[in-house]
Structure 1
Amino acid sequence: MSAPPFVDPESQELDLGQIAREAVPLAALVVLFGGAALLFALFGMAVFSASILRVVLFVAAQFVLVVGTGIVLIYVVARGIQLADPSSRPVSGDSENRDTGNWDAESPDPRS
């Protein structure tokens, strides 16, 4: 049986390095969409004090938040599925295969 994600197989303790590596892209997505929505809202408040454009910009900010939430949830589910499948996990220290998406370093290249 394989070890669960975020647990070091040798020590059976939480792998804080893996947790941090997984948290960074997730936090980047949240900041990206939150910042974009904030820009729409602040621009609407600062430039259009009493206008229909202010309402349009607030609606656009809410739309960005909704779409961003959906994308973050899809990312979390997809990444969770990848982490749950032990055959798709990279070997520790295997950065060149992680960058190319080739998790199994021993498999032949299908393009050759």
Structure 2
Amino acid sequence: MTSYKAALVLAGLIGSFGAVIHGMLTQSHLVVPVRELSATRIRVPIQRLVMILLQFSTFNWFVGGLALIAAVCLSGQEARLAAGLLVGSSYLFAALGNLWATRGRHPGWIVYGAALGLILYGLTEPGA
């Protein structure tokens, strides 16, 4: 495995593991408190929708990480490029949004920024 492919696999692992941690923290620090605060004011179907929306980024980052790993293991350069661009755009949005929203006081922007850097490196494999 070349260092470029290894970089994409590492970016996928960072993204997927980061998503799992993100999901647990989102559940305990956002979903549960929002559900408790809104229990008497918002109907149950809306509460469920809010929970799903709060966890959507978790799902997206997890599946994106798996897609990067699968593209390296199962496909050619075109698939790696497509997965890298799609997942990279998601990780870029996560990093910039996190940096802006927390003014840099949250490690998420660093984690997804590192994964994005690995994706960019992985997509520059010469001659592939």
Same topology, TM > 0.5: no
Larger radius of gyration: 1
TM score, norm. by length of structure 1 = 0.43
TM score, norm. by length of structure 2 = 0.39
Whose RCO is larger (CA < 8 A, sep 6+)? 2
